[in-house]
Structures are given as C-alpha cells and as structure tokens.
Structure 1
Amino acid sequence: MNFRIYRPEIADTLRLSVPIVIAQLGVVLMGVTDNLFVGRLLGAVPLGAAGLANSLSFLMSSIGVGGLSVVAALVSKANSQQDTAAVNRLFRAGLRVAVGLSIALGGLSALLAYNFDLFDQSAEVTRLARDFMLILSASLLPLLIFVATRQLADGLRQPRVAMAITLSALVVNALFNYLLIKGVGPFPEMGLMGSATATLLSRLYMAGAMLAYVYGAGRFKRFLSRSLVLQPIRAEAETILRLGIPGGLTFFFEVATFSLAVVIVGWLGEDRLAAHQIAINMASVTYMMATGISSAAAIRVGAAVGSGSREGVRRAGVAAFLLSAVFMSLAALLFLTANNWLVALYIRDNPAVSSIAVTLMSVAGFFQLSDGIQVVALGCLRGLSDVNVPTVITLIAYWGMALPLSYVLAFPLKLDAVGVWIGLLAGLSLAAVLLTWRFFRLNRRIQTSAVERAERA
C-alpha cells in the first residue's frame, strides 16, 4: 500500500470524522455521566437498574438512530450532484420519519417498561428500572429530532456545531443529575428518577439547539428556501425507510445483543450486573467514537458514488478502516493496562464488583479492534446504499453466534460473566470479517458511477 496516496484521504476522513466522533462520544457520555452519578451517590443496585434501563431504551432507539443515519450519505450524494432541491426534500423527509419512528418506538419502549417482569431481575432492580425507562421513553422524540436534523449538517460536511451542542448538553445533563438526584436548593430530591429526568432535559435542549442552528445559519439557507418547501417528500421518505429500516435493524441486532447480554448477566447476580454495566459503559464510549469514523466513511463513500469515482469509493473506505484500526488498538491498550483505574471512576468501597469489572474490562480490550472494523464496514456499505445483506450478516453474527455462545459459556460451562463477554467477542469478530469482505467485493463490482449495480450485487 502506498501511504503517500492515502495520506490526503486519511487527512480528509480525519477532518470530517473528528467533530462527528466528539458528538457521538457526547451522546454516549450522557449515559456514562448518569452512571457515574448514580454509582457514586446511590450505590450498586440503582447503578445496575439504570444500566439495564439505559440498555433497553437504547435498544428501542437504535432502529431510529441507525435508520436515520442513511440520510447523511444521501444528502452527501445529492450535494455532490449539486441537487439543492433533493437535499431539501431529504431533510424534511428525515424529520417526518423521525417523528413517526419516535412515536412507534417510544410506545414500544413504554410497553416494555410496563412488562419489565419478563426479564426476571430482582424485585428492586425491576421497580427502579421500570420507572427509569418510562422517562427515557419520553425522551425518544427530541433525541430522534436531533439525529434527523444533524444528518443535514453532517451530510453537508458541517458537523462542528452538532459537536458543540452535544458537548454543551453533557454539561446540562451533569448539572441536572447533581441537582435532581439528591435535591439541591429548590430542586426536589428524585433519587434515580432525577438522573432519568436529567437525560430528558438534555435531549430537549439538543433538539431545540440543533433546529435553531440549521434554520438560523446562513450556510443552510439555499437548502431551506421557501420555494422548495412545497415540493412533495413522499418519495424521499419512502427511500429513507427502504434503506433506513434495514440499516436500523443492523444497528438493532448489535445493540440487542449487548442489551440481552445485560439481561443474561443480571441472572448471575446484582454484583455481576453492576460490574458488567461499568465495563460496557467504557466499551460503549470507544464504540460510539468508532461510529463517528463510520459516519464519515458513509458520507465520503456516498460523495464518491455521486461523482462516479470507483477509486474514490475504495480510498474512502481504506482510509476509514486504517483510522479505526489505529484508534481501537490504542483503546485496547488502555483497557488492558489501566482497567483498575477506569473501574475506580465508577464505584468505590465494593471490592467484589470492582474485581469482576476489572476482569471484564480486560476482555473488552480484546474485542476493540473487531468492534471498530465492523462498524466502519457498515458505514462504508451504507455509503453504497447496501443495507440488506449487512442486516443478514449481523443477524447471523450476533444472534446466531454471540448470544447463544454467551449463554453456553456463562451457564453450562460456568465461565460466569466472563463467558458472556467471550461470546460477544466471537460475534463481533465474525461480523468484522464478513462485512469487510462484503465492502471490498462490492467495490470491485462497481462500474463507474452506477451505484444501482452495487445495490444489486
């Protein structure tokens, strides 16, 4: 490989991905912030309940978040073809789809909360997690509105304000966690529900700030002209759903695997559940940062498809794979060498939970590379509008391998919580191999600018 050729490709991917990475990191750090406050102020059982509710709520939202992520690649393609009207239609269609998905997914999330007994957790975890999840269900609407609005900015290569909004929302979330959990000054003492309310308030802030930015900034005016608003958007909404639902299901299968892994670990005991939540929080941070590189890959691949450059598609993909491999290797090194320090950030005076969490952090270190490669491969395929085969691949890797293997290793083979994590490692590795192979196979079949041929491959 000639690195001189790829140097500008890597630099461009890095410039685009860094703000997206920071924004993605900000989203997951809200959950981390919740857990830090809950773990230190309320203890291990509320920490496990909050972690379980967050995981299941994120599972419900994953279809919407993953589905809407196709919009940035479509916007990038339309903009590279200088089709301003198409960009406008995609933006409005994305908002409409976001509202519809938030109603459907929020309702399902609330239904799941009311039937929390199905997960066979302890009585205290069930009670706390149910109420926590109901509040998170209400926050799905502002979350998906933010994600849909962000797609316009990201697709037009303007991700920095979304990054700033997300980071400032972290401050809002931390502030209200502090004020509402214990009750400070005029604020009521809400305990664990104060943490869930802080998440709701921060997401409302994110949606309002992102909409205000897009409609107020001059750089977006030509895409939001009143003359374009009257154009119908049904076709674009159908396209987003046609491409987005399989893409959202791909995201869902992975998130569901980790959410159900939380349930399996919960069967092992409350101390395992709390330890698992600490380790999975740290792994989620690095994963969400890798999704930023994946989003940049989707945007750059989509732009290359729009301009008819087969070589551009390949170079954009390779640059993203290289960046993700380097970053996740560094994360793996951190997890393996600083696991005691990382665990100490979450919980104190509980040696049993800390010991288990340190062991799980070590296993998490080994699956960092697989996790980063598979999510970037998904982004590259999204840029090619290839969504159906990746959905099948993730279904096989996560539900066909990871979950059954996790259960077998944890219970019949008595490897406890470590067995669950080894199963996750196996599923992620299989997905990384198959999805990467799929991208390079499709790239070889692309003939000039005919993206439709890639879809039929």
Structure 2
Amino acid sequence: MRGLGRWAEVRATLALAWPLALTNLSQHAMAATHAVILGWYSTEALAAGTLGANLYWLMMAPGLGTAFAAAPVMAQARGRGQRRGGAARGWVREMRRGARSALVATLLLLAPSLALLWQGEWLLRLLGQEPALAAGAGTYLRAMMWGLIPFSGFIVLRGFLAAMDRPGPALWVTGAAVAINAPLAWLLVFGAFGLEGFGVVGAGLASALADLLMLLALLVLIARDRRLRRFRLLGRFWRVDLPRLRETFRIGLPISGQMLLEIGVFSATAIAMGLFGAVAVAAHAIALQVSALSFMVPMGIGQAATARVGVLAGRGDATGAGQAGWVAIGLGAGFMLAMALLLVLGARPIAWAFLDVADTEAAAVAALAAWLLTIAGLFQLADGVQVVASGALRGLKDTQVPMLLAALGYWGIGMPVGVALAVWGGVGPAGLWLGLAAGVLLVAGMLLLRWRRLAEVPQELPSAAGA
C-alpha cells in the first residue's frame, strides 16, 4: 500500500488536525475560564491559582509523556494491520496492549507527582513563595490533583482515536466540558442556591470533575461505537506486558523530558521577569497567553502528524510517511506565518485587549507587552515548525534525539542568551524573550534537519527511531 498524493495528504492531515487543534483550544479555554473566575473572586485567589497551576503542569509532565507515547505506538500497530490486509486480529491486540501499557506507565510515573502535589504548600514555601500565597495554592492543588489521572487517561484515549482517524469524539467531549466547566467553576467558587462557595478550592474541584467527566464520556462514546469497542482497550487491564511497557517508557520518557525542558524554560523566564517588577510580569503574562493560544493549532497539526506518519511507517510506506511529515510541517508553518503577521502588525491593540484603561500602569504594561508580542511574532514560524517536526518524529518513535536538541536549544542557548541580554546587556525584559526566540529558532532548525535526514532515506524510515 502506498501513501496518498500530495493534495490528498493535505486533505487527510487537515481532516485529522482541525478537531485536534480545536480540542487543544478548548482545553486552553478551560484554564483561561478558571483564571477569569478566580480573578473576579479576588486578586489573591488568582495569584494562588496561577501559582498552583504552574506547579501542577510541571508535576504532570512525567506522566503525560508516556500518555502521549500511546499515539505513535498505536498508529504504527494500525499501519502494520493495514499492511497485512487488516484481517489479522494481531494488530487489534497490539493497539490494546499499547493503550494498556501507556496507562500503566502513566500511573507509575504519576504516583510520585501526586505525592508532591499533596505537599504543594511545602514545596512552594521551599521555593521562597509568600506563606499566605503558598497556602492558597496548596489547597487548590489538593483539590485539582485528583483530575491528574483522568486527564492522562483522556490523553491516551485521544491518541487511540487519532490513530484510528477518529478525532471527533475527543472534540465533542472537550467542547461539552468547556460548556459545563464555566457554570460549575462559578458555582463551586462563589456558591449559589443557598450553597456556600469554596473559593480557590472550588476552582480546583471544578477542574478535577471536568477531567473525570471527559474521561468517562470518552469511554462511553468508544463503548457505543461498533468499530471502536471491539478493541476492548481496558480489557484485562491488570495484566502487565513487560516488553510493551519497556517500549512505552523508551518512547515516553524522552517526551516527558522534552516537556519538562520546555515548561521549565518558560517558568524560569517568568521568575526572571519578577526581577524587573510587576509591569514586566504583567506584560509577560499577556504575551505568553497570546502566543500559547496560537500554539494550540500547530500543536494539533503535530498530533495529526504523529498519527499519519505512524500509520504509514507501520504500513511500510516510507515514502508516504516522509510526505506526510513534510505536508504537516508546511501546514504548521503556513498557519504560524499568518499568526506572525497578526502579532507584529496588531501587537498594541492585542495588548490593550487585556488591560483596563483606567489602570495607572496600563500604558506601561501595554507598551512592553506590545514589544514582547512583536518578538513572539518573529518566532511564531519557528515555533510552529518545531512542534510539528516533533510530532512527525514521534510518529517514527524518535523521541530521544529531539529531547537532547530541546535541551541544547532552550537551556544551552535560549536561557543563557536571554539572561545575558536582559541583565548584562541592558535590554531588560525584552532580552529574556529575545533569548526565547533564539532558543526556539535553534530547536526548530535542528529538528527540521533531523526530519530531513530521516525522510531522505525512505528505505530506512520505518526503523529510523533507533538512529
């Protein structure tokens, strides 16, 4: 079996990518909703929730990597099934084992994360945070942490659906969760109908309940689908497949490492921004929110690339896998080029959309945020390329080299350059973002070269992950 023609591949990738991108945007919308509701409750609640959420995502990264590893494992298993004509039951069993191993590996890695989140207040105080703020964040985390395992399970199931070219159910479930989450969070934070609100704890409870409902709803939709329920993904869940578990760790741990490196560099930048005062922190928050929003689309394209490349590589169609990767990279680059123009040309109006004109410091924040958004616009193209190239490489189960490249780009170049420009070069807060831009550009270039190297030797492409 051979891959599709170029334009047919574009259509196939877009058909898979747009529901995944909208799912990512919906998840981002839920986090933004909580921030808005906590901001209405009190400044202290917003600060505690933001601090807790940053620690939450950092603790989630180890388990999330193995959850993401399910997608390439199952995509290649489906491709092997297509190569054999689809009649053999072996590939169905392989996909079930891939999902089960990803869930087991994720549970093992999340156990220490849950223990640390339970001690979130102690951790934050150890990091020098104000006692009152750390206490609020700690109570928030003790409520929110119970959604960690359901959310990771949702990611595994979403990877299964992407491998099956069925991203729709995950989109429907996330969209419903967005609609339910806002009134639920409002009710639990502020209280209503004679019930007393829980403040910041209520936002954590709403998040955990939303994650649990998303997992249960997706399980129900899969169970009701005749084509999907035959996989019995949770069948004999207690049986441990050691070879598949080792493969999941081999693929997933580098993904976790890469996520930690990326989250870490932005967290470190936020901390460094604190050296320049509240205006710098506020401007950084605006630029980060906008750039994170635009990032959700190429992230979805990258997830589609993982599935498309994985299926074609498993099928033995190396040429088709290479074409699928290049098509996805082109789509991600095209979208982010448009976003770059938008951010560069509309930086100031975008910045003011986040600010109250009556605030005495709004003009200073808007001016700095506009400059940071302009810098963000300049590296949008590179950011789109790097996330899609990472997704394409994951389709080949190639995760170790991308992790090392991320370490070099973000921490070997990006952070040192940013600190040097900001502190010693006299550039100030913008210097930190210029460092981020340098790191992203380097990572994108190296990942693109990595993909080019693998895609130009089509006879070796399906097994290139071991290179």
Out of 265, 269, 277, the residue aligned to residue 269 of structure 1 is: 277
Instruction: Give the equivalent residue in structure 1 for 2:14.
Output: 14
Partner secondary structure for residue 73 of structure 1 = helix
Instruction: Give the equivalent residue in structure 2 for 1:79.
Output: 78
Out of 168, 188, 192, the residue aligned to residue 200 of structure 2 is: 192
The one-letter amino acid paired with 1:420 is: L
Task: Report deviation, 1:46.
Answer: 4.6
- The question of 1:451 aligning with 2:462 is answered yes
Out of 399, 405, 416, the residue aligned to residue 417 of structure 2 is: 405
Task: Report deviation, 1:34.
Answer: 1.9
Instruction: Give the equivalent residue in structure 1 for 2:61.
Output: 62
- Taking the TM superposition and a 5 Å limit, the aligned residue runs for 1:100-119 are 100-119=108-127
Task: Report deviation, 1:225.
Answer: 8.3
The one-letter amino acid paired with 2:381 is: L
* 8 Å CA contact 2:62, 2:110 repeated in 1: no
* 8 Å CA contact 1:103, 1:141 repeated in 2: no
* 8 Å CA contact 2:121, 2:135 repeated in 1: no
- The question of 1:376 aligning with 2:388 is answered yes
Distance 1:197 1:345, change over 3 A: farther
Gaps of 5+ in 2: 82-90
| C-alpha distance in structure 1 between counterparts of 2:113 and 2:219, whole Å | 22
| C-alpha distance in structure 1 between counterparts of 2:170 and 2:234, whole Å | 24
Task: Report deviation, 1:296.
Answer: 0.7
* 8 Å CA contact 1:39, 1:347 repeated in 2: no
Aligned length: 451
Distance 1:189 1:258, change over 3 A: same
Out of 212, 220, 226, the residue aligned to residue 228 of structure 2 is: 220
Instruction: Give the equivalent residue in structure 2 for 1:140.
Output: 148
Out of 413, 420, 434, the residue aligned to residue 446 of structure 2 is: 434
| C-alpha distance in structure 2 between counterparts of 1:234 and 1:261, whole Å | 40
How well do the aligned residues superpose, as a CA RMSD in angstroms? 2.5
Which deviates more from structure 2 when the two are superposed, residues 87-96 or residues 62-71? 62-71
| C-alpha distance in structure 1 between counterparts of 2:236 and 2:198, whole Å | 47
**In the TM superposition, what whole-angstrom CA distance separates every residue of 1:207-227 from its partner, at most 9, and x where no partner exists?**
221222223322212211898
Distance 1:113 1:153, change over 3 A: farther
- Taking the TM superposition and a 5 Å limit, the aligned residue runs for 1:166-205 are 166-205=174-213
- The question of 1:245 aligning with 2:253 is answered yes
Task: Report deviation, 1:292.
Answer: 0.8
Instruction: Give the equivalent residue in structure 1 for 2:373.
Output: 361
The one-letter amino acid paired with 1:168 is: A
| C-alpha distance in structure 2 between counterparts of 1:71 and 1:366, whole Å | 33
| C-alpha distance in structure 1 between counterparts of 2:219 and 2:304, whole Å | 21
Which deviates more from structure 2 when the two are superposed, residues 299-308 or residues 60-69? 60-69
TM-score (norm 2): 0.89
TM-score (norm 1): 0.90
| C-alpha distance in structure 1 between counterparts of 2:203 and 2:234, whole Å | 41
Instruction: Give the equivalent residue in structure 1 for 2:310.
Output: 302
- The question of 1:419 aligning with 2:418 is answered no
| C-alpha distance in structure 1 between counterparts of 2:133 and 2:400, whole Å | 37
Distance 1:405 1:185, change over 3 A: farther
| C-alpha distance in structure 2 between counterparts of 1:346 and 1:204, whole Å | 31
| C-alpha distance in structure 2 between counterparts of 1:152 and 1:99, whole Å | 18
| C-alpha distance in structure 1 between counterparts of 2:432 and 2:259, whole Å | 20
Distance 1:229 1:185, change over 3 A: closer
The one-letter amino acid paired with 1:95 is: L
Distance 1:353 1:137, change over 3 A: farther
Distance 1:329 1:225, change over 3 A: closer
Distance 1:160 1:93, change over 3 A: same
| C-alpha distance in structure 2 between counterparts of 1:300 and 1:406, whole Å | 36
* 8 Å CA contact 2:63, 2:107 repeated in 1: no
Gaps of 5+ in 1: none
**Aligned residues: percent identity?**
29
Distance 1:202 1:226, change over 3 A: closer
Distance 1:172 1:270, change over 3 A: farther
| C-alpha distance in structure 1 between counterparts of 2:237 and 2:128, whole Å | 50
| C-alpha distance in structure 2 between counterparts of 1:182 and 1:368, whole Å | 38
Task: Report deviation, 1:237.
Answer: 1.9
Task: Report deviation, 1:123.
Answer: 5.5
Out of 388, 406, 427, the residue aligned to residue 394 of structure 1 is: 406
Partner secondary structure for residue 186 of structure 1 = coil
Distance 1:455 1:225, change over 3 A: closer
The one-letter amino acid paired with 1:85 is: R
**In the TM superposition, what whole-angstrom CA distance separates every residue of 1:387-413 from its partner, at most 9, and x where no partner exists?**
111111001111112222222233233
| C-alpha distance in structure 1 between counterparts of 2:136 and 2:367, whole Å | 25
Instruction: Give the equivalent residue in structure 2 for 1:281.
Output: 289
Distance 1:107 1:445, change over 3 A: farther
Distance 1:411 1:226, change over 3 A: closer
Instruction: Give the equivalent residue in structure 1 for 2:85.
Output: none
**In the TM superposition, what whole-angstrom CA distance separates every residue of 1:132-186 from its partner, at most 9, and x where no partner exists?**
3443333211211211222221211111010111111112222223223333333
**In the TM superposition, what whole-angstrom CA distance separates every residue of 1:399-436 from its partner, at most 9, and x where no partner exists?**
11222222223323343322221111111110000011
* 8 Å CA contact 1:64, 1:144 repeated in 2: yes
Distance 1:416 1:172, change over 3 A: farther
| C-alpha distance in structure 2 between counterparts of 1:124 and 1:209, whole Å | 37
Task: Report deviation, 1:301.
Answer: 0.8
The one-letter amino acid paired with 1:400 is: G
* 8 Å CA contact 2:80, 2:314 repeated in 1: yes
Partner secondary structure for residue 424 of structure 2 = coil
